[in-house]
Amino acid sequence: MVQQHPVSATLNEDETASMSCTFSGSPAPATTVQWLKDGQSLFDPPKPIHGLRNSTLKFVTANKRHGGNYACRLKTIGHHPVDSQTATLHVREKLKFTVPPVAKSLELGTVRKILCKAQGNPAPIVQWVKEGLKPLLVWPPHIEDVNGTLIFHGVQDDDAGQYTCIATNSQGLISASILINVTMSPHFTSLPNNITFAKEGTKVELHCRAEGYPAPTIQWDRDSVMDGFTSDRFSVDRNGTLTIQNVQQEDQGFYGCTAGNAGGFKRAEFRLVVKDWEYQSGDYDGAESIAKTIIITLGAAAAHIFLSVGLLIWCRLRRRQRKLRSPNDGGAGDAEAQLDVQTALLTKVDCRQSPAIDKLNVPNSSITKGALQGKRPVWRYP
């Protein structure tokens, strides 16, 4: 016979509770006690503690899965089983954060969300407050608090600060604070050429500029080794410019510029090619040599054109002068005629247009028949 039945209990999550069942009659082991939960044998913890004429269930840290209807069943040898009255264990869910807020860095101008979720019995109310603002007042137009989810519709500079998520119900109040930073990821504003050529022995400056919020820091690497510069000829100034004094062939390679801040990192890579002076005289300065060659060629062509035009004009002037002279000029006219023919042949100017003999002031009657027979013409002057 059951003397003490289990008693119903209500407790909060993580609290301690117990249920006991005592009986009269034959003690253990003639009588055994089996615990039931919701009409089924209890196999899950807690494990019962049995005495001679009692049995106890002790919930050290109660949780929601422990809630239910409990009863003890007495089994005595030679008797039918006897069940105790049913006792109900109510476990109220403890007020707690299921999705606690996490500190974040928000990109300037973006739309971002910060989550804060809580559970409890009864269901809690979750709200956000910001340090420096009066609690539970209206947020700025671009910020919205929706059941514990803080939404930024376009992050602004002054959104940075400390935010606190508060959850409340009849059990009390819990809170969690986080720090929100406003950042702008780095972006490059000035970079070297993908391939930078340098003359051996000269100074090389590789400029790397970046903007962001907060202001990004610049770091250089060589062949993917951060700050892998073993010579004091290398230096990096505050603006991020890498300077190499007296650059050498051994300085050739790939150089990387990394800009970083709280918003992230960006890296760009370039190749430095160092040429000696012998190479530079032929190949490195090839473009300059080609330009000079083109200029010289064009100048020579222009000079040739001017010379040809000048000789043509001179030839015509000479012909005009001869026409104005008297036909009895004697041998002087013969010499001048021969000079004009030679000049016309040298300049490829056809001074023998319509008819050439008349332009040379030589009468047709002075030409011998040998000229028509392929012999060398002989000019005779009256």
Q: How far apart are the C-alpha atoms of 159 and 128, rounded to whole Å?
A: 13
Q: Give me the pLDDT at residue 278, please.
A: 59
Q: Are strands 2-4 and 143-146 parallel, antiparallel or unpaired?
A: unpaired
Q: Give me the pLDDT at residue 79, please.
A: 86
Torsions phi, psi of 152, nearest 5?
A: -105, 115
Q: How far apart are the C-alpha atoms of 280 and 288, rounded to whole Å?
A: 11
Q: Give me the pLDDT at residue 126, please.
A: 94
- Which value, to the nearest 10 degrees, does the dihedral of the CA atoms of residues 71, 77, 78, 84 take? -10
Q: Give me the pLDDT at residue 143, please.
A: 92
CB 245 within 8 A of CB 233: yes
Identify which of 1, 31, 37 has the alpha carbon closest to the alpha carbon of residue 19.
37
Q: Give me the pLDDT at residue 284, please.
A: 45
Burial 193-230 (b: 16+ CB within 10 A, else e): eeeeebbbeeebebebebebbeebebbbbbeeeeeebe
Identify which of 26, 91, 21, 107 has the alpha carbon closest to the alpha carbon of residue 59.
91
Collect contacts of 339-348 with beta carbons under 8 A, ≥24 apart.
340/315, 343/311, 343/314, 343/315, 343/318, 344/315, 346/311, 347/308, 347/311, 347/312, 347/315, 348/308
Q: Give me the pLDDT at residue 358, please.
A: 41
Torsions phi, psi of 221, nearest 5?
A: -135, 155
Instruction: Kindly report whether the peptide bond that precedes residue 101 is cis, defined as omega within 30 degrees of 0.
Output: no
User: 2-92 with 191-282: one CATH topology?
Assistant: yes
CB 143 within 8 A of CB 151: yes
Hey, where are the domains in the chain?
A: 2-92, 96-184, 191-282, 295-371
- Fold (CATH) for 191-282: Immunoglobulin-like (2.60.40)
The whole-model pTM stands at 0.50
What Å distances lie between residue 18 and 3, 15, 56, 92, CA to CA? 17, 10, 7, 15
Q: How far apart are the C-alpha atoms of 99 and 131, rounded to whole Å?
A: 21
Q: Give me the pLDDT at residue 88, please.
A: 92
Per-position pLDDT tens, the chain of length 382: 788 898 998 888 888 888 899 988 888 888 888 888 888 888 777 888 888 888 888 888 888 888 899 999 988 888 888 888 999 998 888 889 999 999 988 888 889 999 999 998 889 999 999 987 665 567 889 999 998 999 999 999 889 999 999 999 988 899 999 999 898 888 898 888 888 898 988 999 999 999 888 888 888 988 888 877 777 889 888 888 999 999 888 888 899 999 988 878 889 998 999 988 654 444 445 556 677 778 888 888 888 888 888 888 888 888 887 777 655 554 455 555 455 545 444 444 444 444 433 444 444 444 444 333 344 444 444 4
Identify which of 136, 140, 139 has the alpha carbon closest to the alpha carbon of residue 165.
136
CB 161 within 8 A of CB 180: yes
- Fold (CATH) for 96-184: Immunoglobulin-like (2.60.40)
Q: Give me the pLDDT at residue 326, please.
A: 52
Q: Give me the pLDDT at residue 117, please.
A: 95
Widest CA span of the chain, in angstroms? Answer: 178
Helix (H, G, I), strand (E, B) or coil at 273: strand
What contacts 323, CB < 8 A, 6 or more positions away? 361
| One CATH from 3.40.30.10, 2.60.40.10, 1.10.3720.10, 3.30.9.10 for 2-92 | 2.60.40.10
CB 324 within 8 A of CB 363: no
Q: Give me the pLDDT at residue 124, please.
A: 93
